[in-house]
Structure formats: C-alpha cells, structure tokens
Amino acid sequence: MFVLASGTVEEYRAEPGPVDAVLPLEPGAEPGGLLAEASRRIRVLASLPARHDRDRIVAVPEAARPDVRLGDGQDEILALADGRRTPRDLAFALGRGVYATMLQLARMHQAGLLATVSPRTVPEQAGREPGTGSEQVAASGLPRRQQGLPAPPRRPHVPGRAPELRTPPGLLRPRPARGTGPGEAP
Amino acid sequence: MAEDKLLTEMQALRERITGITGTAVASRDGLIIAEDTGGVNPDNLAALTSAALSLAQRLASEARQGTLREAITRSSGGYVAIYAVGAAAVLVLLGDEGLDITRLHRESRAAVDLIEALLT
C-alpha cells in the first residue's frame, strides 16, 4: 500500500471474484488502516531533509567518508550502493521493506555516507520511430569465431568494476570475406 | 556509433522497466557484444544464454507452439529473461524478485527490434 501510494499507478485492471494471494494475510487488514499507515509513512519521509525516491544511490568513497562506526547493516548498504540501484532496488537486494530501507538511506545520506547519481533523462520512445537511427548505423558484423580456429580468448572478469562498454573486436568492422582472413585455415 | 546506441538502449531499458538489474547483448555463439550486467560475469552469462536460447527454441518447436517469444528462468532471487535478436544475437535481461513482468512483456518486443536494427 505504501509503495502504491508513493508511486504513480499507470494502469489497473479489476479482477472480479476471489484473487489467489501468494502470501494471504490472516486476518485481513482494513483499507482505512492501511491508508492511514501509508499516509503516515509518506509524511515521515516528506519531513526528512534528504528523500530519494527514484535517484540512484552511490556510496561515498571510503577516503571521503566521515569517520563513523558502521553498524546496523550499513556496510551491506554501502557495498550494494553502486550507483545503479534506486532505494527500491536496494530494498529488494537487501530483502527488506522499501519504507525501512528509505529511512535508513536518508539517515546514511545525512551522515555523509551516501550520495545520489543525478537521474538520467531517458525519452520514452527514443529512436523508436521508423526512419531514425538505424539508417545511420554502418553495416557491422557480430564478433564471430572463424571456422577452424579456436574461440577468441575470454577476458578475465573483474568483479565490482564500474559498468562500461567493452568494444568487442569486429562489432563495428565488417566481417572479413571468407578466405581472406589472415588466420584462415587453408 | 552503433555500440554507444546499443548501450544507451540497454540502459534505457533498465530505467524503463522496474526491477531490471542488468542487461547484456551477446552473439548466438556465446560471445559478449555489450554488457551492463552490474557485477554478473558477462562472459559466462553470454555463453550460458546462447545455449539456453537454443534449447528453449528447440523445445518450443518440439511442442509445436510456434516461434519462441522469450525464455524465462525464475529463481528465488529474481529472473533471467532471454530473447532472440534476429538470427545472430541474444538479449539477456536480469531482474530482481519485484520485476515488472507486465511492463517487460509490453516493452521487450520493441527493445528487441531496436537492438536488432542497431546490430545489422
């Protein structure tokens, strides 16, 4: 209810009759009580100096952090705050509720442990219209192993590295014609 | 550049669909083309995805259920959704337990078409 109330409902569909609940609540909760609790939570969050609904959260580098003792699962949050996750994503990654996570994030932000990545603006239908984008792209081949040759060596993976594009050989180069490649088997 | 546009589209997909934690595009023979996986080993992902897609397509064909739309693996911690991008590439989406499946179904077809246009 809190997550529904704090976000935007884009569409909904009424399901007549009983609904199969994965985790049924026994006894059930009254809508009035749920709404009151959701309102209270939204009020609490609104009163906080730092509130981040959709921002992506990043840990302040260790050298720039204030010298505070970490506790209460804060180190776990710092490890997960990689600039890719929103408070909602962090809550799922931690296996905790969104509200409790948002409260803790706000406290940690205030303590100088966390910062936000400025949100990217992504147009809903960027490049989707036919006639834009695809024509300007030069013909390119996918990286392929050549017949008779072993697979190209796989790169070692460095865990925790910042996401970046690795340019695979051949993505933007046309594939060499058959029989002209330097390593082609005779 | 095609690769920039590819990565931009992959990141845009993560922005648009709540619950997506990572994306990757690989060739059908299991080599990574572009990745934004957020820590998951992209090379292993590409290799496994290629095999899983072939198997799922064979399964759909054996069951006489037409063209494969997606192959989804649902686990205790989330989802892996695999899409064929034309005949030469694969799109992999990683999602957490709260992945917005409805939105995924609505957005995935257009995303696959766009990625295919960027690759060819």
Using the predicted structure, report yes or no on whether residue B37 has a pLDDT greater than 90: yes
Which residue of B3, B5, B41 is in closest CB contact with A133? B5
- The pLDDT value given to residue A169: 44
Cis peptide before A119 (omega within 30 of 0): no
The predicted model gives A138-152 an average pLDDT of 49
**CB burial of residue A40 (10 Å; 0-12, 13-18, 19+):** exposed
Rounded Cα distance, A87 and A54, in Å: 7
Is B114 in the A-facing interface, judged by CB distances under 8 Å?
Answer: yes
Nearest CA to CA, how far is A182 from chain B (Å)?
21
Using the predicted structure, report yes or no on whether residue A132 has a pLDDT greater than 50: no
Local structure of A150: helix, strand or coil: coil
Q: Phi then psi for A152, rounded to 5 degrees? A: -60, 150
Who's near A101: CB < 8 A, 6+ residues apart?
A87, A90, A91, A94
Is B10 in the A-facing interface, judged by CB distances under 8 Å?
Answer: no
A116 within 8 A of A55, measured Cβ to Cβ: yes
Whole-structure pTM value: 0.69
Across chain A, mean pLDDT equals: 71
- H-helix segments, A47-124: 74-80, 87-94, 98-110
Rounded Cα distance, B35 and B26, in Å: 8
A143: chain B residues, CB-CB within 8 Å? 27, 31, 33
Residue that wins the pLDDT comparison between A134 and A46: A46
- The pLDDT value given to residue B1: 62
Local structure of A167: helix, strand or coil: coil
Using the predicted structure, report yes or no on whether residue A133 has a pLDDT greater than 80: no
- The pLDDT value given to residue A162: 40
A85: chain B residues, CB-CB within 8 Å? 21
Contact call for A166 and B32, based on CB within 8 A: yes
Q: How confident is the model at residue A26 (pLDDT cuts 50, 70, 90)?
A: confident
The predicted model gives B29-46 an average pLDDT of 93
Which residue of A85, A145, A168 is in closest CB contact with B32? A168
The predicted model gives B34-39 an average pLDDT of 91
For A49, other C-beta atoms within 10 Å of its C-beta total 7
A139: chain B residues, CB-CB within 8 Å? 120
Using the predicted structure, report yes or no on whether residue A147 has a pLDDT greater than 70: no
Which residue of B7, B33, B117 is in closest CB contact with A168? B33
Residue that wins the pLDDT comparison between A153 and A164: A153
Contact call for B15 and A122, based on CB within 8 A: yes
- Residues A63-80 have pLDDT tens digits of 888 888 888 889 899 999
- The pLDDT value given to residue B24: 96
- Residues A86-113 have pLDDT tens digits of 999 999 999 999 999 999 999 899 889 9
Residue that wins the pLDDT comparison between B87 and A131: B87
Contact call for A133 and B120, based on CB within 8 A: no
